[in-house]
Every structure is written in C-alpha cells, then in structure tokens.
Structure 1
C-alpha cells in the first residue's frame, strides 16, 4: 500500500491535479521566476504530479537547460516532451536522486514532504542535490487554517469542519503533518540554507467553483476512511452538496512557499 493517502491510482486524481494546477500553478510559477530562473538551468521537480510545472520549467530553461520531473507514480505526466525534459518514476524516500555532475541549480517540490514521515531526511537529500549556490523552493499547505467564510447555516459550517477534521485524522495516520507548511522555514534554516524568504498564498473558494473541486476529489477518494472516522453516507452526501452550493465560501488551503540557497563552498554559516 502506498504511503500517500491520495495516491495517483484513484479515478479522482485527474480532478485533484486540475484543481491544484488551476488554483496554485500561477503562484508557484511566480515564486520560481523570482529565483532568477534562466535558460540553461538544471532543475529538479520532485513529486511532479500532472507535470504542469515541470513543463513550464522546461520552457523557461530552454533546450540548453535540463528538467527532471519525478513522481512515485508518474502516469498522469506521461506525454510527448522535448528532449531536455524527462519524467522518471522515483521514490524520493528510498531511491538515490538522479543528479547532474555538480548538482541542480533549482530544486522544487510542492505538497510532497507534508505526506512523508521522513520529511526532514528528505529535506537534507534535496539540499545535498543542489550545486553550491543552488536554490531550493518548497511549497506546502498549512492545513490548520481554512476558516468557513460564509455558509447557508451553522450546521453546514460545522459539517465542513467535521469532514476536514476526519480527513486530517486519516492523513496523520499515514504519517502526514497538516501543520508542516508553517514549519518549513525553520526546517530549511536547520538544514543549513541561507537567504530564506517565505510567501503565503490563499484565496476564497466558493461552492461550485474550481477550488472546492479539490475538496470534492479528496473526500471522494478517501470516502471509506472518512466513514471509518464516524461520518455517515448521509453526512458525506450533504458535504458534497454543500461544496456545490454557491452560498458556501471557505478560505483556501494556505500554500506557504519558502526559498533558500545552498551556501557556496567555503561560505561561512553566519552571515
């Protein structure tokens, strides 16, 4: 059994990727562009999902650069690409990273380490994959803050919160950390990176819109687990109806994006 609660074998995966790409890719692209991303860079996209960000990186680095997209199950990223963009089936926890001779200029991972009990070890591996002076961009949710902004009634708001709590319980049983997003900056400091910056992105998601489609896909994929947390079929049906109701609005899952630089050889730890 995969360690991920939302593995890529589910029929809901395409809808989940579509929601994530529509809601968060523009922000992620802005954060990656801020690194100075340029033609000729060598980039690693870890947990590439549907491959949208890896493809965008390939466009930015051009044929003189190199982009490697990895995923535990890359089936949703399989399509024709230019030779300088490759997709690999890879387990970031157990398998050696594919490395260029002197490391990557840029490593990016979105919503990967949150799911991994070994997240700190994986972070160290990602730092080690950078060339001296290379940049790591980690983007993770803080699942602890997603307030309901409007709801048809108090019972509807309470139902949403109950389903989300059950979902978090299922994630935690797989070793995920729903608060990881707020801890990424400190973890990257401890990993020895410097020149750190952090930016948080959130927006409102209204019932029937693209964003709540992420909640729809997640709840449908792990419906059995939600039932195991005590939710009934009637409550789940009401939850999905609520997510389709334009009278319901919730804050999106905040995505915290942290960028840090690996010190150059001989650079002092204190700056």
Structure 2
C-alpha cells in the first residue's frame, strides 16, 4: 500500500554514502531495477552487494527480493498521488488538491510500513501499565493529548503533562509500573530525549512515535512506531500531512487495543459517557 519510492526519497539524504548511491540508482530508473540482480544493481550504482542489502534493511525491508517486489507493484499502479509543495500565488483549487494529495499519500505510506507485531507489543505494554504518560513538543503535543484522552476513556490513568519538569517529577514519584509515550517527528527533540532518559532511569517502559528512519528516540524505545517520511519542501506542506499520519497511527493502535479488550472497553466507555453527560446536564 505504501510507496517505497517515497520512502527512499524521504530518507535518502540521511543514508550512509554507499547506501545513498544505491538509493539514487533506484530513483533514477526504478523500472530497470526490478529486472536487475543484486550484483547488477551494485555495479550500476558504484556500491557493493553488501551495501544493497544494508540499504534494503534501512528501508525496513527484509532484502532485495522484497524491494523488487514492492517496486514492481508500485510501477504498475495507474496513478501515483505523490507529494507536492505550495508555490507562489497558487489558486484555491490547486492548494486544496496538493494538500489532499499529500495527506492521502502520507496515510497510505504510513499504513504500508506499519508492523502488526509492533502494534501488538505496544498494546500489551499499555494494557499492563498502571499509568500512561504522554509528551510531545509543538504539533506533537496534540498527539500526546489525543493519547491521554483515548486511554483515559479506556479506564487507564493516562495523562499528558506539558511541563517537562513536572513530568520528570511524576516519573520519580509515581508508579514504576508505568509507560512513557514519547512523540517527536524527528526523533531528536532535546526535551523529549531528556524525558525519555528520565523515564528509563526510573524504570518506566518507553514507547515512541517518530518518522521513519534512524533516530535517538527510536533507539531508546522498547517499541518504536513510525509514520512515513515525506521529502523535504520549502513550505513544509508535507509536514502538515505528517501530523495526520501520527493521528492515524494512534487511532490504529487504540482501536486494535479496544478490539482486543472489547468487553472492558465497552463498560469503560459507557461509564465515561455517563460522566460527561452528567457534566453537560449540570
């Protein structure tokens, strides 16, 4: 479902030089690559066979056969939506079309790289925890609030705390049977990384949500969930849709959790609905 070509474009500049050579060769002529052997791709890109294998792993693929399979599927699609940046003095219809295209592509790419095993592992950690803390900076704070609201409805002690100092104190003073859900699109936000270290030092489990690729937050997490990664653009119009992808991942995680704890969830949602109804009536 997700575009492997978009995945390559999004991460290309952060790859090691040898892997970047492989990526550029693929982007130059993907239809040719699907007919190549691993040694032919290595030779045409000026890299080694080992670099091709490492490149495939960096893309989240098991190996070269899976890469060729995904490219083949993508190339026979009748239409590729793609990512577009906003240009000067564009009209309403064109801006709308581009933003919708970016969102659709981001959501498809994100779902295409989500791993069921990671969703299951994250659900297990969340289910066992007494307390769920969520934190993010900037737009990622909206995702943290969404996490807290959702799992509060599920009957969990789930809170999003905007002040990192208070959150660090909560880690130290609160239950150790807790999980810290850290959100950072880049995976390199300093406040988030500092809080991740504080959580780990206090014995908490760490879940992360970042964009695709290697980053410091992902390396720290017990389970690292990822969204797709759009190519860089001047106005960061694709970054707007990445926020929608973050919400989508949390929605998928929550409803998978709800489906596998269905009876408990129905009762908790009924109880929370009654509470909010009483609040409205008062």
| Bucket of the pairwise TM-score, normalised by the shorter protein | 0.3 to 0.5
TM-score by length of 1: 0.33
TM-score by length of 2: 0.32
Comparing both chains, which one has the higher relative contact order based on Cα–Cα distances under 8 Å and sequence gaps of 6 or more? 1
Larger Rg: 2
